[in-house]
Every structure is written in C-alpha cells, then in structure tokens.
Amino acid sequence: MPHTITRRTMLSRSAAALAATAVSFEPLLAASDARRFKIGACDWSIGKHSSIEAFDVAKQIGLDGVQISMGTVKNEMQLRKPEMQRTYLEAVKKTGQQMASLAIGEMNSVPLKSDPRAAKWLDESIDVCKALGLDVVMPACFGKGDLDMGNKAEIDQLVKVLKDVAPKAEKAGVSIGLEDYLSAEDNMKIIERVGSPAMKVYYDVGNSTDKGRDIFKEIRLLGKLICEFHAKDGPHMLGRGRIDFRKVREAIDEIGYNGWIIIEAARPNGLIPDYQAHCKHLREVFPAQG
C-alpha cells in the first residue's frame, strides 16, 4: 500500500507539473513560431504619388499602410521639410494607416550612380527616416538610373556614394535597400564592396520574374540582406499570373523575414477593386499572425 500510494502521488504530481509547464510555455512557443506581416502599397501605384491622400486611399482599400515617396524635383523633395513631415504624421494619426518605408523614385530620372543631387538626397533621406520613425529607405535604380555591372566607372561611383552615407544610416538604424534589375549575386557584390550592415536589397518579385530569374532561389540566397518586398506580377492580378505567392511565402519563411509586403501591382479593372483583390490574396498567404 505505501508503495502504491507513493507511486500514484508521484504520477499525479508529474501530470500536474506537465500541465503547468504546458500552460506556462504555450504562449511563448506560439509567439516564437508566429509570422507577422503587414500589407501596404506604394503611394505612386495607388495614384497618390507624394500626397497625403495616399493614406485615405489605402484605408479605403483595407491596407495596413503606405510606402511613401520622398518627393520630386518639382516639389523640392518635399519630405525634407519639417512642416511636410508634420503633415504626414498628422495624416497617419487621422487615418490609422502606417508609413511602411521611404522611397526615392526620383532617382530613376536623377541617377544615384552619377548625379550629385541624388547623393545628397540619399544622405538627407536618413534624416527624413529618423523624423518619421522609418527604418528603410529605397533608392530606385531604373530608367536613367539603371545599373550595369559592366560599367565600372558608374558602379565605382555608386559604391562611393553608398559608402559615404552608410555610416550615417548605421547610426540611425536605417537600412538602404537598393531596388534594381540586377541579379541577387550582383547586388551582393555591391553590398560586399560597401561593407556596411546598413546596405540591403529591396526585393521585387515581379522585376526579377520579368528578367527570367528564379525568385525563390534568389530570396533564399539573399536571406537577411532583404529589407522589404514589392509584390507585383507584370499585367497579372496577384495569384492569377506567373508567380506562386505561396512559394514566395515558403522562401520568406526560410529566411525568417517578418514585415511589410508592399503591393505595386496592375489594376486592369480599377484601382479600388483590384487593390482590394490583391490585398485579399496577400492576406491569405501572409496573414498578420500565423
């Protein structure tokens, strides 16, 4: 009898301890396994380039926020101005939308690889990010700013500009995410030459697909060098074209990415209905948690 009672008591206590452990650690385990994503759109892709009206449109669509533009030559790169920064912060508060990241699309016309104005804007963009609480700035490198690894002089100048700004970005906790048509390997060569943890890649699955690249391989290769994603698929609606976003999700899970997925997609049937459809598809693949 004493032996049986002791054994029963021990088993009972063990079961209770296990139950308590399960209760105590379940939230922790759930939190560590959770994937958290936010779905946004570029202000220019929803027809509100460099405008606070982008937040109202994003709210109507049902997005979490907006990738905002620093400005244009015409408006003197308006987000450098404190009064405009205050206007944006007020719009965020009013709409409940968020600012995802800062883009410098004007560099498609004023190239970072060759124009001193663009180099100055990039330096000033770090101050803008600090003022607005952002941690990613995206210098765009298309059009006149397109990068050619075979043009040594231009790539050397690009690396010099990035090296000059990188320490400031590091100190501010801001990632400089290049968006371009280069391969993952060529982007990595530029990042290696700059030699700063602030240097990243802003990865656009549509751009790389257009170039015939294996985006799933590139995402895994770049890994933690990716600071944010653009979601587009040429003229196709997301989820109905060339790109399987569930496979994109698998690759993203492997590199441990959490954060913004920014829509920059087609809208053949109209802005609001198409962007609501894009948003719906991406939320199914990239839920806020889970």
* 113-151 pLDDT per residue, tens: 999 999 999 999 999 999 999 999 999 999 999 999 999
More confident position, 129 or 23: 129
The confidence score (pLDDT) of residue 226 equals: 98
What average pLDDT score do residues 72-88 get? 98
The answer to whether 108 and 74 have CB atoms below 8 angstroms apart is no
Euclidean distance between the first and final Cα of the chain, in Å? 50
Q: Does the pLDDT of residue 17 top 50, yes or no?
A: no
The confidence score (pLDDT) of residue 290 equals: 55
Superfamily of domain 35-285: Divalent-metal-dependent TIM barrel enzymes (3.20.20.150)
CB atoms within 10 A of CB 5: 9
Q: Does the pLDDT of residue 10 top 90, yes or no?
A: no
The answer to whether 139 and 171 have CB atoms below 8 angstroms apart is no
Write down the mean pLDDT value for the chain: 90
> Which residue in the block uniquely carries the two structure tokens 């100190």?
171
Q: Does the pLDDT of residue 26 top 50, yes or no?
A: no
Show contacts of 129-135: CB within 8 Å, 24+ apart: 129/102, 129/172, 129/174, 130/172, 130/174, 131/82, 131/85, 132/79, 132/85, 132/88, 132/89, 132/99, 132/102, 133/99, 134/99, 134/100, 134/101, 134/102, 134/174, 135/101, 135/173, 135/174, 135/175
Q: Does the pLDDT of residue 18 top 50, yes or no?
A: no
DSSP string, 195-242: T-TTEEEEEEHHHHHHTT--HHHHHHHHGGGEEEEEE-BTBSPTTSSS
How many Cα neighbours within 13 Å face the side chain of 150?
0
SS3 assignment, position 180? coil
> Alpha-carbon distance 64 to 163, whole Å?
33
In sequence order, what are the beta bridge partners of 176?
A: 137, 199
What value does the CA radius of gyration of the chain take, rounded to a whole number of Å? 23
CB atoms within 10 A of CB 200: 24
The confidence score (pLDDT) of residue 288 equals: 86
> Alpha-carbon distance 105 to 44, whole Å?
9
Select from 225, 228, 231 the least CA-distant residue to 246.
231
Note the pLDDT tens digit of each residue in 34-61. Answer: 448 999 999 999 999 999 999 999 999 9
**Which sequence spans correspond to the domains of the chain?**
1-33, 35-285
**How far from chain centre, in Å, is Cα 54?**
17
Note the pLDDT tens digit of each residue in 169-183. Answer: 999 999 999 999 999
